[in-house]
Structure 1
Amino acid sequence: GGRSRIHTTFADGVEMVEEYTADSRPQILVRRWKAPTTLGGDGKWEFEVGEPTPIFLCRESTEVWEWRVRNLPYPKDTYLITIDESSQELIIRTTNKKYFKRFRIPAMARANLPLDRSALSHSHSNNTLVIQVSFASIVMRRGLVALVILDTISMHADGVKKAALEALSSRVLDGRGLRIGICTTEWNKEIIDALRDGAIRTLTAAGVATDDIIVFKAPGAYELPFTASRLILSENVDAVICVGCLIKGETMHFEYICEAVTQGIMKLNLDTGVPVMFGVLAVLNEKQARARAGLEEGGHNHGVEWAQTAIEMAQLRARTAKKSAAKCPYHVIPACPFVWTTALAVLGYGLHLVVCRKHN
């Protein structure tokens, strides 16, 4: 149950809010837009998917658009669903003239795809009229699968993403002489082990010696920043990969941990001078996590990219260190500004006491 919400603000001030079901196959429940007025004030929300009231609802999946019209108690044969060819609108009417509605499918209009009567179906039960339009069949029938990218959940998008991941994974890197740390969590062991092993295989394939891959374990994702800091302090590594998996539950725990871990890992990058990779999956369900660990058909192991990025960042660190002194971790006492400030203050106070005694 539940739903996820995405709020996007574009450069021209236009806002878009989308809400999806929080399950293994997310469906869009609401998409609404708001543009600023000509005087710069707040405009009104306009609903593209869903409605401000629960009477007329629209949902999108990877195959169909679905509309549900509630509180319609008439028999199924009462409803007539037609297409207005001139305006490309769907029309709902009843033979008893008790209900009438016409509406467009914005995504179809933007893609310049005409509606097809054969892709339209409807049913009625529990006083709810359900109308479905199969956009997959419309696109397939016109041979536009590889060309038309709808602004909904696109069939083509998965292929584009897969091609991009394959391109990233095929990079040839030289990791010889590097020393890489990996911090893993104990939760979701099967997923973590797959991600860790994918990273290790990539590192060794790039020439990183097995003895130069150091693995530390943390109980959970929240402990990853501290574990990584101790690894940096004790093992003299060139880069660290933090590997974890957070799966959203029914409480706010997921959001709090995600925020804390993200900030902690970012702070390590800035404070220690050692690049730390954010390899923490933050997913809505276990299936999404398994796919990103390469454990599902068609999935991809993201441990590969994390390892490649670790090599690239370690090399960047080495190149920039030749031009300026490398930033030492604050955990090393001589590099800590607080230690130096305190030492100078104590020294100054000691000199003050010596001078006072001489005068006395």
Structure 2
Amino acid sequence: MKIKKRSLLFNMIFLISFFMISFPLYAQEKTVSLDVENMNIETVLKMVAEQSGLNVSISKNVVGAVTVKLENVNIYKALDAVLKTNNYLYSMENGIINVYTYQELQQEERFVNLQTKVFTLAHADVIDLKRVLLSMKTPRGKIEINAKNNQVIITDTPEKVREIGEALQELDQKMEMRKYKLLYSEAREIETKLLQLIPKEKGDIYVDERTNSVIVRATPVILNNIDELIEGWDTQHRQVLIEAKILEVTLDETMKLGVEWQHKDTDSLHSPSYTDFAVKFPVSLATTGGIFKIGSLTADEYAITLEALKSKADTEVLSSPRVVVIDGQEASILVGSSEPYIVATTDPVTKLLVEEVKFID
């Protein structure tokens, strides 16, 4: 039983590792959000496929229910969360996510003849890739490292040898370095995003906070994808100007109004007479008699409203607070002043009274 559990865990690790290596960067960038309770696992996998834009093939033996809550996680992390609780496995081949049981994997590999193939790397160091390669092989497979000649000898099923060979071809590329100077985004923020997309074995990321730049060392294929990602991330944020005016309005004798709260029925309210403003408001914002509804005013309507108040009453602008904030973020406006007050304390040594002026908003 312990051996089976270890084998299952080993296969899960191998599949997750290969999944991260074989997935293109655009697929890794896709995020998935799920909030399901006791839902059929096949339905959940279809939801993952729809959100990621990938195809999915599910074995008829994959059954059960899933309860999971995920918010903007990478596709492979979402699949791991959905399948791990039921001990199911997955692999990626030609843009299709294949989901099957552990027993099906064992049955398929049990009768397959093994083959051996030698791969010589030109750029990458086989020692650095050893951990990844060991996690990719099947339980029957074998990985040998020839550090002197920078070679790896793989003995495994033909399909697995092919998969590992493709992964090695992708990993064994000459590394290049590019510097991305950011205009609007923070370098640390971009670094966090890139670390989620680029496995450690496929590149390095450095941050130059002085110039707000990100330096990436990776293969040309990965760097080309990063070019597109950073171009989309490093965009100017929209700014919102919020402006308000706080007025003190003093009505003269002809403008004072009283309110009678009694009424006969809902259709017959006792209302005083009103003085119409000599301006024309939008129907959605004003009604007969100059009664204002709660709503939004355009810049022109806002100015007209103030002019109307000034023309009909003694109006004084007490404050004109304004704030500029990035769209989607919170901002606050403090309307007031700092008032001084005196705090008196007695020095415990000299017994002298010490006064200090402080301010309160």
Same fold (TM over 0.5): no
TM-score (norm 1): 0.23
Say which one has the larger Rg.
Answer: 2
Q: Quick check: which one's helix share is greater?
A: 1
Greater share of residues in strand: 2
